[in-house]
Each structure stands twice: as C-alpha cells, then as structure tokens.
Amino acid sequence: MPNIQVSGVSKYFGPIRALAHVDLEIQEGEYTVLLGPSGCGKTTLLKIISGILRPTSGAVFIADKDVSHLPPEDRDIGFLFQNYALFPHLSALDNAAYGPIARGGNPDKARRIASEMLELVHLTGREDALPRELSGGMQQRLAMARALTTGSKLIFLDEPTNALDAHIRAELHVELRRMAKRLGLTVIHVTHDQEEAMALADKIVIMRDGQVLQIGTPHEVYHHPICPFVANFLGEANFLRVKFTDGTASLLGQKLRAKLNGDYVAVIRPENLRFERKGAKVEVTSSRSFGPFYKYELDCNGVRLLVRTTHKYEATERISFKPKSVLFFKEPEEGLEKAIGNA
C-alpha cells in the first residue's frame, strides 16, 4: 500500500535551506501535485521522497515503513524525469523494458509487460522506433510506459509536460489522470503550472521558500487560499487595501460589514467582479477575447482591476461584486508586494 508520510523533513545544502520542517501525508491512490515557483523546494522534496537525496533531518515513510536511508531502487518507485532520460540508441520497446531487465528480471517477461504498457499509452506500432523518431508527446508517453513497466503503484513525475506545446500538454493531462485512476496509482507530480495542477490533482501542495503553505483540493486552495501568496499564485486575483472601523468599511463604492478592525487586504477573483449600472465608476483600458471568456483591465481611480466574464460588454461605466465573494487578509507586515511574491 503506497501511502506516504513525510515527517519533519528539512534539507540544507551547506548554509542554504532548501526545505524547512515539511510534513505531508499522501494516501493510496491519490494524485498529488507539488506546486510552487522555481526554487521553492518541490523537486528537492520529490527527490528526498524517492531516495535520490537524503534529508538533513526528518523521516520518510512509505507503506508505514521508514525508508529514509534506503536507496531509490529499494523504494519500489517508477520515476518520470523532466527530460524523460530515454536511451537514444534503444527502441521504444527496449526503453520501456530496460528497468526490469537491468535489475535482473526475465527479459521476455519484461518485454511482454513493456509491450502492454506501450499499448496503454497508445504507442502500439511504434515499438521499433528510436526516441528521436518520436514526437515530444510520444516521448513523454514512452517515459511513462517505462515508469509503469516497473510494476510500481507509486509514480513520481518531475515536470513531465514542461517541454510540450499547449495542445499536446492538455491532451496528456487527460491521459495522465485517466491512466493513474485506471491503474490505481499513487502519483506525486511536480509542476509550476497552475492550470496543470488544477487539471490533474486530487490534492495540491503549495510551496514557497522550502515550506508548505497550504494543502487541499483544487477547489479548496483556489476558493479558500490561506494567505495572499496562495491567492496570487493559484489563478488571478485583485488585491485591494481596505480599512475597517468598528466592523464597517467601503470597497469599490460598496459598504461592507465584518467582524474586523484595522487595515486589511481584500481579494476578489476576476470572475467575481461584474459590470452593472451601480457600483464604482471605472474605465475599461483593455479587453481581450480568450475563446469562451473575455478578460478586461479596468482603471478605478488609479487602481488596476481585472475582470473575467463570458459576456462581451461594448461600453460600461461601473463595476460591483457580491460581498460574500471577497476574502480578507490582515495587511502583511512585509508589505503586500513581497507577500504575494511580486517583489
């Protein structure tokens, strides 16, 4: 049972802290995405769980067994690297079968299983092709087949779609999740792509500066971010400063009531702003069509606002929102720009 527990894991490279006391639990059959900006520690965490790196402190458990000091080959993991790490001189079939054969498995059995995995990832008929003869999407699927041929129910993916174009990437998102659920795999997937995380994950782990900020379903982390950074990193958001006095405040021309007092940051998602006849007066400074929706940039007394809507508006003068759609965070001590990661 490939349930995973990371307990108090820290990692230092000399004086540089890469991870700071990370705790994480992943249940059997979950598709978990480690999400965060470059340098946040997500790949380091993946390498520690897989055994490629040793933690400075803390422990890793797989199926309730402490594997902190076991090498990768003893952790029963299928690993798909960012660059796929395919052998250029081996055929697709031999690439897929390489792992079990290298560990002393029966070659005929390994190739039979590899052939089944190639069929699963829709590469039947390309068994004899070399990696250079395959498209980027095919190479990604071949790397996945090789990971699956190990027979492991625990699969690690390190930014596997990073080099693919948007159309192929979207197709592979569907295939990856369908395959994981069909085979009952437990998957840890590293990415910095918010849309990829939302499309694939049962659970998203958002990281920054070597720390886990929030863990939750895509719905939870998007609609209920724990801090301004999460709100900013996972999707777009409008950040507006607001001051509450005795539980009341004014925001974009609307009166708000809440059990708050002092300086706060209001967060409103672009889809929660709407054009109406009442509300704050605005000027549309930019409008773009993105297929099923439109995105508008507005100026409201010098404040830039983003609006996303399925309806096209030719002309308007005012904007409003539902008070229940607003999130409030205490004004960050380090300043808003630094808190949301823009400084």
Express as a percent the part of the chain with pLDDT over 70.
97
pLDDT at residue 1 is higher than 60:
no
Report the pLDDT value the prediction gives residue 169, as an integer from 0 to 100. Answer: 76
Q: In 211-309, which ranges are continuous DSSP H helix? A: 218-223, 228-233
Phi, psi (degrees; rounded to nearest 5) at 113: -65, -40
The pLDDT-based confidence of 14 (bands split at 50, 70, 90) is: very high
Residue predicted with more confidence, 167 or 227: 227
Phi, psi (degrees; rounded to nearest 5) at 77: -125, 140
Report the pLDDT value the prediction gives residue 232, as an integer from 0 to 100. Answer: 93
The domain limits of the chain are 4-229, 237-339
Q: Which fold has domain 4-229?
A: Rossmann fold (3.40.50)
Q: Considering Cα of 213, then 217, then 218, then 221, what sign does the dihedral take?
A: negative
* Amino acid making up residue 8: G
pLDDT average, residue stretch 133-150: 85
Percent helix, strand, coil in the chain (nearest 5)? 30, 35, 35
- Round to whole Å and give the CA distance between 232 and 329: 13
Report the pLDDT value the prediction gives residue 2, as an integer from 0 to 100. Answer: 63
Report the pLDDT value the prediction gives residue 166, as an integer from 0 to 100. Answer: 74
Rg of the chain, C-alpha, whole Å: 24
CB 9 within 8 A of CB 60: yes
Which residue has tokens 């069909």?
182
Q: Residue 323, Cβ neighbours under 10 Å: how many?
A: 12
Query: Structure tokens of 138?
Result: 């095919």
Burial tier of 219 (Cβ tally within 10 Å: 0-12, 13-18, 19+):
exposed
- Round to whole Å and give the CA distance between 258 and 129: 64
